Amino acid sequence: MIIIYHCFGGSHSSVTAAAIHLGLLSSDRLPSRDDIMALPYFDKTTDNDFGSIRFIGFDDNNNAVYVLGKKSQSDRFSNVLTGIAELLDKKDDLTAVNTMGRVNWSMKLGGYTSRKIGMAGLGRPVVIQGTIKAFWELVNLVEMTKFKILNRTQN
């Protein structure tokens, strides 16, 4: 199965969720600034990365985990991806997870300043602080995703 975590830029919340999923970040303690900055793609994407499905790694059950930046696409985006998988007869092979519901204002403001305006020195500390603040909510989202996948594979 492939799992796609998607958010606005594919740079912060989706990358963090994918890292938690893969165990790159421990899900039982808050990460440090350095832990977060060491993540692949964290706060490093460019405009060309919008719409690109980027591979992060395989989880313990050999599911491939990806991240995706979707710009301002609404909540229906997961359905769009699932719909495409369905018409390719691969519906059961895809789980799309929207991480935008876990994004706080610090992440939005810091992410915009760092990625859109290009002032990483100013925006990065703010987005990292926001990511640490949102960490337990992202852990919760990942746990729910893993549970859903387990349910699906057992049925």
Partner 1 sequence: MKIIFLGTTGVHQALVAGYYYLGFRPEGDCKNLNGFADLEMEICGFPILLGQDQKGNMVYALGCETDVLMMKKTIEQLADILGNEPNQLLVLPISIPGEKMLLWLTNIAGFTGAGKWYSFISRFIVKKNLLTIFNQVKQLQKQFIRN
Task: Give the interface segment with partner 1, choosing from 21-29, 32-40, 74-82, 117-125 (CB under 8 A).
Answer: 74-82
| 2 binds partner 1 per the rule CB under 8 A | yes
- 2, with CB counted inside 10 A (0-12, 13-18, 19+), is middle
> What is the rounded CA–CA span in Å between residue 51 and residue 69?
6
| 57 binds partner 1 per the rule CB under 8 A | no
Q: Which is nearer to partner 1, 77 or 135 (CB)?
A: 77
Least separation in angstroms between residue 76's CB and partner 1 is 3
- What are the distances in angstroms from CA 34 to CA 44, 71, 89, 111? 14, 27, 42, 17
SS3 17: helix
| 100 binds partner 1 per the rule CB under 8 A | no
| 59 binds partner 1 per the rule CB under 8 A | no
> What is the rounded CA–CA span in Å between residue 36 and residue 124?
11
Question: What is the binding site for partner 1 (CB under 8 A)?
Answer: 2, 4, 50-53, 64, 66, 68, 70-74, 76-88, 90, 93-94
